[in-house]
Amino acid sequence: MLVLATLYFIPSYNQKELLVRSPIIHAARELSSPAEWERWNPALRKDCLENPSACAVNNTAVKNTFSIKAPHCGISVTLRGAMFDITQTGGDGPASYNYTLIPSLHDDSTGLVVTEKRSLLVSLFSSLSVNSVAWRDADSLKKFIETPSDYYGFPLQMSPVIDTLVITTHKRIAAANSIAELKGLYRVINHTIEAGHLTKTYPYIANYRPVGHDSIELTAAIPVDKKIPKGALPTNMSFMEMPPQGRMVVGYFKGKYGDRIKLYKAMDNFISDKLLKKISVPYEEYLNDTVPENDSTIVEIKICAPVI
């Protein structure tokens, strides 16, 4: 009995490593920011979403340490370079553990070493369990970072080029008139499609390129099934072919048209994080073929950014 009691008070450290398919800078950002902990940590997310005012962050007097107090749990984090010492109370705690980030040979992944402090007695009978707080939270962090809709705020994915052939026209206009002008361009393209006995294959497409303080180059396009002789096209129209072997970053948005700018920013971050490069201006695809009336119109759109 005395031996068992002694073993209980001797500390032991159990370790496991998890591979996070994201650059180390992302994992470091999530672990070093109280606001990010509230986004990805299951216990904090539940408390802070239900009652944000009840969650308090305290940057303690201890250097590089912060704590988060929520109604049903509390977490304290101390930063030591690429190591994070964590103490949790309440929730599924108490627990004391450490996360260490190790850069991978590949830029797009990170090793997350989970070290849990336990008594030697407990360690003799069990290894680091997938049900432990330390491991479950590490797995939650991995899933959060690897899921674009969580990490970037929108569903994002890599996709092959779909709209391989489009009939297009463009016009330099005052930015304030973009909606009315876009509708007019679609009417002209649709007339050409009908006259040429073409078939529309995918929803309406548009992109906007700023060319001055208050002007834009507006491009409207409609995907079609085939070409017609060049002489049958109006002079201000053309066919554009996209390489079928090309790749695109695709994002989805549903909400007020004016808020789609948030998706553009999220896609820029995704492209940068994945070490990709845009090769042309991104374009919008109106999934219900309804052109927005103004920035308050509720739309469902897909934004496509060709990349290499």
**156-209, pLDDT tens digit by residue?**
999 998 878 999 999 999 988 888 999 999 999 999 999 999 999 999 999 999
Instruction: Select from 154, 273, 266, 260 the least CA-distant residue to 207.
Output: 260
Question: Can you give the pLDDT at residue 118?
Answer: 62
- Check whether residue 193 and residue 67 sit in a common domain: no
Residue 195: per-residue pLDDT: 93
* Tens digit of each residue's pLDDT (9 = 90 or more) over 228-281: 987 888 988 999 998 878 899 999 999 999 999 999 999 999 999 888 999 988
Residues 140 and 22 in one domain: yes
Q: 219 and 253: one domain? A: no
Last residue of a domain, one of 185, 211, 241: 241
Among 185, 210, 241, residue at a domain's last position: 241
Same domain, 49 and 111: yes
Q: What is the CATH number of the domain that holds 218?
A: 3.30.70
Q: State the residue range of the domain holding 274.
A: 154-163+244-308
| The pLDDT value given to residue 227 | 93
Q: Identify whether residues 221 and 298 lie together within a single domain.
A: no
SS3 content of the chain, % helix, strand, coil (to 5): 35, 40, 30
CB 276 within 8 A of CB 250: no
Same domain, 43 and 177: no
pLDDT tens per residue, range 206-228? 999 988 888 999 999 999 999 99
Predicted pLDDT of residue 138: 96
**Residue 296 per-residue DSSP state:** T
276 and 222 share one domain:
no
- For the chain, the domain total comes to 3
Q: Among 146, 180, 213, where does a domain finish? A: 146
36 and 95 assigned to the same domain? yes
Dihedral of the CA atoms 142, 147, 152, 155 (nearest 10)?
180
42-87 pLDDT per residue, tens: 989 988 887 888 899 987 656 789 999 999 899 999 999 999 999 9
Closest CA relative to residue 156, chosen from 267, 298, 295: 267
Q: Which residue has the higher pLDDT, 13 or 47?
A: 47
pLDDT(11) > 80: no
Contacts of 115 (CB under 8 A, 6+ apart): 13, 14, 15, 97, 98, 99, 100, 134
CATH number of the domain enclosing 80: 3.30.530.20
Q: Are residues 159 and 302 in the same domain?
A: yes
Q: What is the pLDDT of residue 10?
A: 54
Query: Given its phi and psi angles, is residue 67 left (phi above 0), alpha (psi -120 to 50 degrees) or beta?
Result: beta
141 with 172, same domain: the answer is no
Instruction: Look at residue 94 in the predicted model and tell me its pLDDT.
Output: 84
pLDDT digits (tens, 9 = 90+) for 98-157: 999 999 876 679 999 999 976 554 544 455 565 789 999 999 999 999 999 999 999 999
For residue 288, the model assigns a pLDDT of 86
Q: Are 12 and 133 in a shared domain?
A: yes
Q: Do 159 and 169 fall into the same domain?
A: no
